[in-house]
Structure 1
Amino acid sequence: MNVGQGNCSLKTAFGFSFAHRLVAAASGSFDESGHEQLVVGTETGKICLQGSESVFHVNDKINFLSVYKHNRKIKEQSIKSSDNSENDIVIIGTNNSLMAFDVFNNKTIFHREITEGVNFIKIGNIDEYKNENVIICGCGTTIWGFQLDGKDLFWTALGDQINVLELCDMDGDGLNEVLKNASFFAEFDEGDPTLAIIAIKPATFAFGLSSGVVGVYGQGERLWRVKTKSRIVSLLSFPDQNHVACVWQNAKIDIRSVSTGEIRTKDQLEGGELSIAFLVDLAGVGPLDSGEEQPQLTLVFKNGQGF
């Protein structure tokens, strides 16, 4: 979905459909075309690619999908398949393992057994690993970091179940720190399990709780907090850093001011229960003249439909 001009309204930019019940989704460039495509995980343990009949079978319950993008602007370590291609790599978290898969070449890059399972995956650079992207996983009560070839980098045992992870420069030093359930670098106790976090800019992030509460912290202080009757699915910095998109399980969308929480526009889509929402240019709009990306708000429903 795109944001319309003038009245800040939402409008549908594209649609898609998978013939499966979906539990996870992500996007990447998986062939020579360089175009963004969706990759999804199904309830029956399959990985499917948009516009392709190929199916990769995972013999486990899929919990989360992420994508390592080879086209990062920074110099970094990279996974390369046997033919030296640089297609994006799908990272799969299941009840018992972490896997990296080259969809285009139908090749498993690595497979790691994880006893506690993998509930959440974040790919990025932090602290001493500022020059390379690493795979950071929420595995039960442990944060586990892996190199892009599956080797261990670090792990930290915590006392809480990890639902969500985010990277944010919390102290203005130019390096990302890890936010776990809205705490780790510093403690932000909101009283209920955290289901969504998004870093908006340095020292500023939005959070969503299982109780239906959403809010924003800035510079260590809570800027606002509101209670709703819906269950949050995703929080996204959209359409710019001054706004946060709150996407709910019932396909309701609120675009709120980061500074005040005021609703700038809202919409309600039909299609059933949402699985996930994220930002990607599936419509092929391309970057602005300035080179800045202009992704669309993409919603993936559990019934396989999407906008």
Structure 2
Amino acid sequence: MIPAFQFALGHQVLQGLVTVGRYDGKRPCLSAGTTAGKVLIHCPHNRVENPQNEVMFLNINRKITSVVTGMLNPALQRDVLMVGTQTSLMVYDVEENADLFFKEVHDGVNVIAFGHLPAIEQPVCVVGGNCSVQAFDAEGSELYWTVTGDNVSSLAFCDVDDDGHPELLVGTEDFEIRALKSEEVLKEITETDVVIRIEPLHKCRFAYALMHGTVGVYDKLSRAWRVKSKNRVNCIDCFDLDNDGVPELIAGWENGKVEVRNEKSGEVMCKDYFQAPVAALVHADYRLDGRETLMCLTSEGDVRGWLPSSSGAEHSGLRSGVAAQEAKENDNWRDLQAQKAKLTQELASFKEQLKQYKSDGKETGQGVIPTDTKLNASLKANKAHGTVELHLMTTNYSVIRAVVIFAEHLFDGEACMLHPLPPSNNVIVQISPAKDVQTTMSIKAMTGVTVSSVQYHVFELNYVMPKFAMYHQVDEAPVPSGTVNFVVQERPNHIWSWLQRSFISIPEQMPAPSGANVLEVNFISLRTNEPLCITVSKEQAGLMTIRTDDMETAGEMVQDLCNFLQVTELESTANFPAEMEKFQQVLTRVDEYNAVRMKLTAEMADSANLVKALIVKAEDYRMLSDMQHLKKAFSSLQQTNSDLIAEYNKRANNHQQLLAQLKEVNMMIQKAAKLRMGHAKSRVVAACRQAIKQNNIMGLFQIIRTGHDASG
């Protein structure tokens, strides 16, 4: 990769806080958040008019969390700068040197995205914060609000369902990627670490990056590919570097490496290296020559730019069909090469085994397992240890020397290797997933005839671990106090099929009806030993009840059942006394922290006014050469300043506590919404938001229980 230009900004740049905007509507400017709480604006096209305006600074004086540009007010016909801090959002018109608006955001600002939301005509500034997503227009009015499962770590717009309208993709700290169409969640994808970046790629495809060093691509919410590195990925961008009409995935890493990967296969096409960690990747027509430029910024402020390949660009009108055909042929060639390499490796392994077999001089076939040997896998619950056991067993006397399991969400590093001592034909692997996620285990077992075998056969097996494998079926269990009731117009045997798919050790035959229930199944959580009961009523057709004291678990089961039965609309009533009692305490603490915050703010304002007055007095005494009173004024000023710092620390601690409680409030709304589907789910979120704005606590509890407010 040969750079087209490079220069240094001379200031340290925060990771991911870089954007390019046309603040005068014509010429692009590079904007970056710095470690000093400032936004650096680099305008190289001002160099001719006024060299001093090439680099400008916007003092924020707070920790900057996100920097984005966009034409938020179309009437201005130019981009504005959107800057997020931990507690506020500022939209700034760089050309006019004026704020469009400044807004305190109680849920915090972790990340910002600019784009269009369905049913909202004007462009919006979307803010991801403490378990919530908000959208503001050019005047700072809130036009959209919804909740997420955890703190928002990334936002992007991409048309993932190919309907011509982009959906909002939300990455959160609970390892989830959610695709939102208005308030409706199209799909939730569980990843293996915090989603730090999401970037629209091409048509319905988008790229993502995880905190532990994974980058990959999804095509219509189905994973196309992913790669994992031991280094941390800091940023990603999508840019057509080879000028074939399809953008490549560009990744910047903590070790200073920049990689260009094919968006279809993930193959590395080229790379470059920096001396410092890569902070951001952006692209724009920065030289105003009609060609987009890929720019990479390091944490030390170094900038390097690359132009797309110019081969065939002058015949771009004829290249579309030819390039598509060439790309298809290249993909087919790569697939054939990969198959050839795999077959060559297998043939070499077979020849090596045959050579060893012949050199042994025996016809007994020592070390070669019988041809009818198979590897069987099964899952069983171990209540004593609180784990799920994976049993691997051969169908004869062959022993398993080693087992390697690759699976997401189950092990640290996504892999587990086991050497049984002594080797046996039955190996047990203890598994204890932290979350309820369905995952596929890729199992590779090295099997030989005896312990002393020198030749081994490797069995490869894929085995699906059900989502609720950590719940062990029992005959009887205590009845939990928490319940959720809903009606599903499905036959009980369909619900039994869902139980067989989502749990382990469920028999094929459905039990006979007993008492007032057509179906009754009891479970014990292997994590907490808490009971779980699922029943289908005989008296009221289709009435299904899930009894558990964990509201989040109930919501996960409702969502999984609806997806299995393809139910798109579902109303429910819920009653979780223990959860609601805790929620009442959270709301009480929110009121207390709010009251303390208002008091501390007023006291800080008084102290700030006193500081101003003392400074004026000290200046007067200095001009009068009254050193005695000047010393007293400065002594009082020092004491007042110390008090002001102490009050600020109290306010900061109070704010952190308030954020933690607001997160609990938003998570409760998310739990309540997950107990419903479709319009009922969206209605719960909107009604809860309205009740919180009106401080209607009784109405909020009513909405969580029934899905409707008091008037509904």
- TM-score, L = length of structure 1: 0.84
Comparing 296-305 with 11-20, which one deviates more in the overlay?
11-20
Given the alignment, which residue of 168, 183, 191 partners 2:178? Answer: 183
* Residue in 2 that maps onto 1:78: 74
Q: CA deviation at 1:127?
A: 1.5
* Residue in 2 that maps onto 1:26: 19
Q: CA deviation at 1:201?
A: 2.6
Which structure 2 segments of 5+ residues have no match? 44-52, 172-176, 180-185, 305-712
Contact 1:93 1:120 in 2 (8 A): yes
Q: CA deviation at 1:48?
A: 2.4
Q: CA deviation at 1:267?
A: 1.7
Q: Distance in 1 between matches of 2:56 and 2:104?
A: 25
Given the alignment, which residue of 31, 54, 57 partners 1:55? Answer: 57
| 1:282-301 alignment, distance < 5 Å | 282-286=286-290, 294-301=291-298
1:274 equivalenced with 2:278 (yes/no): yes
- Select the structure of larger CA radius of gyration: 2
* Residue in 1 that maps onto 2:135: 145
RMSD: 1.9
Q: Which amino acid aligns with 1:252?
A: K
Q: CA deviation at 1:79?
A: 5.7
* Residue in 1 that maps onto 2:32: 40
Query: Judging changes above 3 Å, is the alpha-carbon distance between structure 1 residues 276 and 79 closer, same or farther for their aligned structure 2 residues?
Result: farther
Greater RCO between the two (CA within 8 Å, min separation 6)? 1
Q: Which amino acid aligns with 2:281?
A: A
1:304 equivalenced with 2:301 (yes/no): yes
Q: Which amino acid aligns with 1:144?
A: Q
Q: Alpha-carbon deviations, 1:87-111, whole Å to 9, x = none?
A: 3210001111000111122111100
Contact 1:136 1:146 in 2 (8 A): yes
Q: CA deviation at 1:135?
A: 0.7
Q: CA deviation at 1:158?
A: 1.4
Q: Alpha-carbon deviations, 1:47-95, whole Å to 9, x = none?
A: 222142543211311111101137xxxxxx5364xxxxx4321000111
Given the alignment, which residue of 109, 112, 116 partners 2:107? Answer: 116
* Residue in 1 that maps onto 2:219: 218
Which structure 1 segments of 5+ residues have no match? 1-9, 71-76, 81-85, 287-293
Q: CA deviation at 1:242?
A: 4.8
Query: Judging changes above 3 Å, is the alpha-carbon distance between structure 1 residues 148 and 16 closer, same or farther for their aligned structure 2 residues?
Result: farther
Q: CA deviation at 1:273?
A: 2.0
* Residue in 1 that maps onto 2:200: 199
Given the alignment, which residue of 68, 71, 92 partners 1:69? Answer: 71
Q: Distance in 1 between matches of 2:95 and 2:118?
A: 32
Contact 1:163 1:194 in 2 (8 A): yes
Structure having the higher strand fraction is 1
Q: Distance in 1 between matches of 2:191 and 2:132?
A: 21
Give 3-state SS (helix, strand or coil) of 1:187's partner. strand
1:15 equivalenced with 2:6 (yes/no): yes
Q: Distance in 2 between matches of 1:261 and 1:25?
A: 25
Q: Which amino acid aligns with 2:147?
A: A
Structure having the higher helix fraction is 2
Q: Distance in 2 between matches of 1:49 and 1:213?
A: 31
Given the alignment, which residue of 80, 94, 100 partners 2:85? Answer: 94
Given the alignment, which residue of 258, 267, 272 partners 2:263? Answer: 258
Q: CA deviation at 1:143?
A: 0.8
Q: Distance in 1 between matches of 2:221 and 2:70?
A: 30
Contact 1:233 1:277 in 2 (8 A): no
Q: Distance in 2 between matches of 1:64 and 1:79?
A: 24
Q: Distance in 1 between matches of 2:71 and 2:303?
A: 22
Contact 1:13 1:283 in 2 (8 A): no
Q: Alpha-carbon deviations, 1:190-227, whole Å to 9, x = none?
A: 12111111111333111111111111111332111111
Q: Alpha-carbon deviations, 1:249-273, whole Å to 9, x = none?
A: 3331221111111111122223x12
Q: Which amino acid aligns with 1:153?
A: L
Q: Distance in 1 between matches of 2:38 and 2:270?
A: 36
Q: Distance in 1 between matches of 2:99 and 2:75?
A: 11
* Residue in 1 that maps onto 2:161: 171
- TM-score, L = length of structure 2: 0.37
1:245 equivalenced with 2:247 (yes/no): no
Contact 1:22 1:41 in 2 (8 A): yes
* Residue in 2 that maps onto 1:291: none
Query: Judging changes above 3 Å, is the alpha-carbon distance between structure 1 residues 241 and 269 closer, same or farther for their aligned structure 2 residues?
Result: same
Q: Distance in 2 between matches of 1:79 and 1:60?
A: 30
Contact 1:277 1:297 in 2 (8 A): yes
Give 3-state SS (helix, strand or coil) of 1:41's partner. strand
1:105 equivalenced with 2:102 (yes/no): no
| 1:221-232 alignment, distance < 5 Å | 221-232=222-233
% identical equivalent positions: 29
Comparing 112-121 with 237-246, which one deviates more in the overlay?
237-246
Q: Distance in 2 between matches of 1:243 and 1:25?
A: 20
Contact 2:65 2:85 in 1 (8 A): yes
Q: Distance in 1 between matches of 2:22 and 2:247?
A: 28
